[in-house]
Amino acid sequence: MPSATMLAAPRRLLAVLLLLGVGAFVTRAEEFKSEWQGFARLDFVLDGRACVLVLPKDPAPGQPWIWRTEFFGHEPQADIALLGHGWHVAYMNVANMYGAPTALDHMDTFYDYLRANHRLAAKTVLEGFSRGGLYAFNWAARHPDRVASLYVDAPVCDFKSWPGGKGKSPQAKKEWAECLQVYGLNETDAPTYPLNPIDNLAPLAKERIPILSVCGGADEVVPLDENSALVATRYRQLGGTIELIVKPGGKHHPHTLQDPAPIVAFVLQHAPTS
């Protein structure tokens, strides 16, 4: 029989590793190397989801990273520029899950994996394009201590606005059905769901997470006043810092800015310190 001392030792080791908060028990996946935009790219499957990690040629101190929550590779100007500054670019495919808690659970595993196996910074920058805004805001609200800043682009901040079509934009019927299913909601209880980004900004404000939102002023799919503008008003009321870059007359597409300099400057200004 093992002695009490022998049993205590692994428990103490486990406690130390958990306190380090680096996901010490996430097994390394089989990673396949290729190239993306002139940088080394790793593809692997984690928690049943396809994942990507793009590596900078000369990593910046502290291993900073930006996490694209949806639409990897679409309008990648800022991502490419940040790779040039020594940042990693990460992505986990949780498509069609609309930032629901089950998607956030997958994202937790991805975060733990990157911390344990690639020693990336403890705080990430979340980059949410369109429906990716739901993932970015919701994961930040779940783990505000793990987020350095948010860069969101024409982000969905309320699933009632899109895909629900309860405001100015038409309902996206297929996506709305998927959204209700993954959240476990129906048409009756969805309107009172309390954790849409527009209603759940306090955890971000308390942690003083800065936000940049790039939007089209005439976005017909994700209306500005139902999403980023409403977030801006409420976030400032909570004492949070948010900057809106509104493209006059801009629609939902094209996303981002052709010259990503303002986005890159924002991300670098609020870079994680660890």
Chain segment 125-156, per-residue pLDDT in tens: 999 999 999 999 999 999 999 999 999 999 99
Structural domain contains residue 79: yes
Q: What is the pLDDT of residue 1?
A: 39
Is residue 88 assigned to a domain? yes
- In terms of Cα–Cα distance, which of 238, 212, 244 is closest to 137? 212
Tell me which of 15 and 272 has the higher pLDDT: 272
Name which residue leads in pLDDT, 236 or 273: 236
Share of the chain above pLDDT 70, in %: 90
The pLDDT tens digits for 194-203 are 999 999 999 9
pLDDT band at 65 (very low <50, low <70, confident <90, very high): very high
Q: What's the total number of domains in the chain?
A: 1
How does pLDDT run across 251-272, given as a tens digit for each residue? 988 988 889 999 999 999 999 8
Give the per-residue pLDDT at 11: 42
| pLDDT one-digit tens code per residue, 173-211 | 999 999 999 999 999 999 999 999 999 999 999 999 999
Within a domain: 3: no
pLDDT value, residue 141: 98
pLDDT for position 26 = 65
Higher pLDDT among residues 109 and 16, named by residue: 109
* pLDDT score for 15: 36
Q: What is the mean pLDDT of the chain?
A: 91
CA distance 251 to 157: 17
Tell me if 246 sits within 8 A of 224, measured CB to CB: yes
In angstroms, rounded to a whole number, what is the distance separating the alpha carbons of residues 159 and 162? 5
pLDDT of residue 218: 86
74-83 average pLDDT score: 96
pLDDT value at residue 274: 61
What CATH number does the domain containing 143 carry?
A: 3.40.50.1820
Please compute, for residue 75, the number of CA atoms within 13 A of its CA located in the half-sphere on the CB side: 19
The confidence band for 17, taking pLDDT boundaries of 50, 70 and 90, is very low
221: domain range?
36-269
Residue 126 lies in a domain: yes
- pLDDT at residue 5 above 50? no
Please give the order of strands across the beta sheet that includes 88-92.
32-36, 39-46, 49-55, 88-92, 65-68, 124-129, 147-153, 211-216, 242-247
Helix (H) or strand (E) holding 30: none
Residue 106 in tokens: 């997958």
